[in-house]
Structure 1
Amino acid sequence: MAKLTLADIKRRGGRVDRERVQATTDEEIDRHAREDRTESDLPGPAYPSPATVRRQLKLTQTDIAALVGVPVATWRNWEQGRVSLDPAVRTLLRVLWREPDAVRRAMVA
């Protein structure tokens, strides 16, 4: 995959249909998660996406990044797919999805 500089991206313009993204309903997001096999009740190694977990917990990117102890830029990179998720992050997402209160208790100093 080619890496682009910020200047390259600005020159090319965006390809995201922001109106369509904003119009996406929670039901559509859930359906997409099922189709992408990111629902936690699917068999095998599937895991929920970072955005799915964050929406389920009703947290902002800043709040969930603080909860799990990572910079908000890291969480944004996970959500936007800029970096691949290593096994530890995938495990964290599954635990956040299934046992968010346990994570909250564990992360409180």
Structure 2
Amino acid sequence: MSNAFKSIEQGLKEALSHARGDKSAAVLHEIEIPDPDVQAIRARTGLSQVAFARSIGVKKATLLNWEQGRRHPEGPARVLLALIAKDPQIVQRTLTP
């Protein structure tokens, strides 16, 4: 069996245990994600602010606020930015048909 299969199998077992009400089987996976340097991440992609904002599904104003430090990305946006920081072309490669 491959590692992927084992991981999926374990996830399904945990989901079934949870569905049955067994809270002891629940496993919480927490990953610490550092504050992203949004401007540097965008620059590495080579995209304009408008194109980058569109590619990650946020408004240009939101991106500007992140880049200028007035606001900070949270939750899924923070995870997506961390992925893009490691692989600047991940969004285009993954979502382009």
Moved more, 69-78 or 85-94: 85-94
Q: What are the residue-to-residue correspondences of 1:4-23 with 2, within 5 Å?
A: none
- Provide the rounded CA distance (Å) in 1 between the counterparts of 2:52 and 2:63: 8
Q: Is the 8 A contact 2:66 2:72 kept in 1?
A: yes
Aligned in 2, Cα 1:107/1:75: closer, same or farther, shift over 3 Å? Answer: farther
Partner of residue 78, structure 1: 66
- Scaled by the length of structure 2, the TM-score of the pair is 0.56
- Provide the rounded CA distance (Å) in 2 between the counterparts of 1:98 and 1:84: 19
Shift of 1:50: 0.6
Q: 2:86 aligns with which of 81, 95, 98?
A: 98
SS of 1:63's equivalent in the other structure is helix
Q: Which amino acid aligns with 1:91?
A: V
Shift of 1:56: 1.1
- Provide the rounded CA distance (Å) in 2 between the counterparts of 1:59 and 1:66: 10
- Scaled by the length of structure 1, the TM-score of the pair is 0.51
Partner of residue 75, structure 2: 87
User: How big is the alpha-carbon RMSD for the aligned residues of Structure 1 and Structure 2?
Assistant: 1.9
Q: Which runs of 5+ in 2 are unaligned?
A: 1-31
Partner of residue 67, structure 1: 55
Relative contact order (C-alpha < 8 Å, sep 6+): which is higher?
2
Q: Is the 8 A contact 1:67 1:107 kept in 2?
A: no
- Provide the rounded CA distance (Å) in 2 between the counterparts of 1:45 and 1:73: 23
Identity in percent: 32
